[in-house]
């Protein structure tokens, strides 16, 4: 039997390799699609995807987290009950999308949304019937197999998307592709673990446990959506869909380090801490801090590099329609450091069954975006809105820090030291760039 540390190390390697491969595929796919389609289409799809994700998070009861964290997470009855809840939830989401499609189309003054929303969110129904085998692999930390599976699924989806857009370069190809991708996942999820399947079952005790844990996950997930997706909803109203598409390209590239850490947070850090959550708090805190050093130092170097050269990459790879993404990129990258501090420690609060702190953290970020972005855009234009979005993770981090202090898991001293290291590395990289004659990343603004 491998130790939790060995499983975590192996899981981290596989997660980085698998997710890194997925990001490379997405990046290549993005380059191809931006040449075949208008920026407006990316803005429309960003808005539709935000609405779909929002309804999924508003109805989230933490099925995956329950399976990973529960002592009954390997029992067939518990798994089948969880699957049943998941399937019902998917159908409900789609019906809600049908109901809200018309008012949303009216609000954003685009009749295409009336049809795009029901088509894209049909994938939620299909996803709901997918096997819980993926969550079981998370629980067992069999992340090599899981990473390979996700890489194959992503490659299948993206190749299908490119073929559709190649023959039919319109918004409807972007809408249909997620539905086809959901079908791929549905079928393949029943092949992941031999002799593993789900069927409808409803055990009251399992339902009670899932919903008891899920009531806080619902709050946390709802506010997570508000925190992470409100920017697109607000920008979709105050900017054109074309500018929203440009912002989406810049944000997607800038968020790569955050997405990698989020994957590690969910797939490695959370299950690893869950296995040790019964330890005394000082012992658990010492273990977390010891393992966190390497992650933060590595992230600091990677993020500093992305801030330094990200604008050059955008300028080389994208055409003049995406020129605004050049100056957006370094600004958005700079604020991601606080996300990295948050996601490398926030799973500890979830593992000790304290998801309320996550909800409070996300509410703080939501407040900054919902109020700050429109005001900043009114006073300083698009630049002001982007700066507010870039540093909206600061309140997220501060509130989470309070929760860690309350639960005797604080790591503030470590955060100060690694932040100083990040600033020093960034200053060095910028000095080297300037010395080589490339100026500063935001020079296009002047």
The CA distances from residue 414 to 87, 106, 292, 392, 397, in Å, are 42, 49, 9, 21, 14
What is the residue-averaged pLDDT of the chain?
Answer: 85
The pLDDT of residue 182 is 93
Q: Is the pLDDT of residue 89 over 50?
A: yes
The answer to which of 10-19, 95-104, 160-169, 368-377 has the lowest mean pLDDT is: 10-19
Tell me the pLDDT tens digit for each residue of 286-314: 888 888 888 899 989 999 999 999 899 88
What 3-state DSSP class applies to 384? Answer: helix
pLDDT of residue 61 exceeding 70, the answer is no
Classify residue 318 by its DSSP letter. S
pTM of the model as a whole: 0.73
Q: With a cut of 70, say whether residue 4 has pLDDT above it.
A: no
Question: Contact, 60 vs 217, CB < 8 A?
Answer: yes
pLDDT at 141 over 80: no
- In whole angstroms, give the CA distance from residue 265 to residue 259: 10
Query: Can you tell me the distance from the alpha carbon of 24 to that of 41, in angstroms, rounded to the nearest whole number?
Result: 22
DSSP collapsed to 3 states, 153-205: HHHHHHHHHHHHHHHCCCHHHHHHHHHHHHHHHHHHHCCCCCCCCCCCCCCHH
With a pLDDT cut of 70, the percent of the chain lying above it is 92
Question: Which of 218 and 211 is assigned the larger pLDDT?
Answer: 211
Task: Dump pLDDT digits (tens) for 213-229.
Answer: 666 666 666 777 777 77
Tokens, residue 383: 């630049």
* Residue 331 confidence class, pLDDT cut points 50, 70, 90: very high
| Contact present, 361 and 396 (Cβ < 8 Å) | yes
**Alpha-carbon span 2 to 140, nearest angstrom:** 11
pLDDT at 421: 97
Phi, psi for residue 278 in degrees, rounded to 5: -80, -5
Contact 342, 393 (CB under 8 A): yes
Are 85 and 210 spatial neighbours (Cβ–Cβ below 8 Å)? yes
| Contact call for residues 66 and 83 (beta carbons, < 8 A) | no
The pLDDT tens digits for 342-371 are 888 888 887 777 767 777 787 888 888 888
Higher pLDDT, 265 or 151: 151
pLDDT at 1 over 50: no
Is residue 98 over pLDDT 60? Answer: yes
């Amino acid at each position: 039997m491998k130790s939790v540390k060995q499983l975590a190390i192996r899981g981290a390697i596989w997660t980085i390799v698998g997710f890194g491969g997925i990001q490379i595929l997405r990046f290549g796919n993005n380059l191809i699609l931006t040449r075949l389609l208008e920026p407006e289409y990316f803005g429309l799809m960003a808005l539709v995807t935000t609405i779909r994700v929002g309804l999924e998070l508003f109805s989230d009861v933490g099925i995956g987290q329950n399976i990973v964290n529960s002592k009954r997470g390997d029992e067939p009855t518990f798994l089948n009950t969880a699957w049943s809840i998941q399937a019902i939830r998917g159908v409900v989401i789609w019906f809600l999308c049908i109901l809200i499609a018309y008012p949303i189309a009216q609000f954003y003054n685009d009749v295409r949304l009336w049809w795009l929303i029901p088509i894209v969110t049909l994938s939620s129904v299909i996803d709901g019937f997918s096997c819980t085998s993926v969550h079981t692999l998370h629980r067992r930390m069999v992340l090599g197999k899981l990473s390979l599976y996700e890489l194959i699924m992503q490659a299948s989806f993206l190749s299908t998307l490119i073929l559709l857009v190649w023959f039919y370069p319109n918004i409807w190809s972007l809408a249909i592709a997620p539905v086809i991708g959901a079908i791929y996942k549905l079928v393949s999820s029943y092949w992941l673990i031999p002799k593993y399947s789900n069927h409808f079952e409803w055990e009251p005790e399992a339902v009670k446990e899932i919903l008891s844990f899920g009531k806080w996950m619902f709050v946390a997930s709802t506010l997570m959506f508000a925190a992470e997706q409100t920017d697109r909803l607000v920008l979709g109203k105050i900017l054109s869909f074309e500018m929203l598409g440009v912002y989406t390209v810049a944000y997607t590239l800038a968020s790569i380090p955050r997405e990698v850490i989020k994957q590690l947070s969910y797939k490695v850090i959370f299950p690893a801490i869950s296995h040790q959550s019964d330890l005394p708090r000082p012992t658990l805190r010492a273990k977390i801090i010891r393992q966190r050093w390497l992650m933060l130092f590595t992230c600091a170097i990677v993020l500093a590099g992305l801030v330094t050269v990200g604008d050059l990459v955008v300028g080389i790879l994208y055409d003049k329609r995406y020129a605004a993404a050049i100056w957006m990129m370094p600004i958005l990258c700079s604020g991601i450091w606080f996300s990295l501090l948050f996601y490398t420690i926030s799973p500890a609060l979830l593992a000790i069954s304290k998801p309320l702190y996550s909800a409070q953290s996300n509410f703080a970020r939501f407040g900054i975006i919902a109020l700050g972005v429109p005001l900043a855009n009114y006073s300083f234009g698009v630049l002001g809105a982007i700066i507010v979005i870039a540093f909206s993770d600061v309140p997220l981090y501060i509130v989470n820090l309070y929760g860690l202090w309350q639960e005797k898991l604080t790591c503030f001293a470590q955060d100060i030291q690694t932040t100083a290291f990040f600033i020093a590395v960034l200053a060095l990289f910028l000095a080297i760039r300037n010395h080589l004659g490339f100026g500063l990343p935001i020079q296009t603004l002047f």
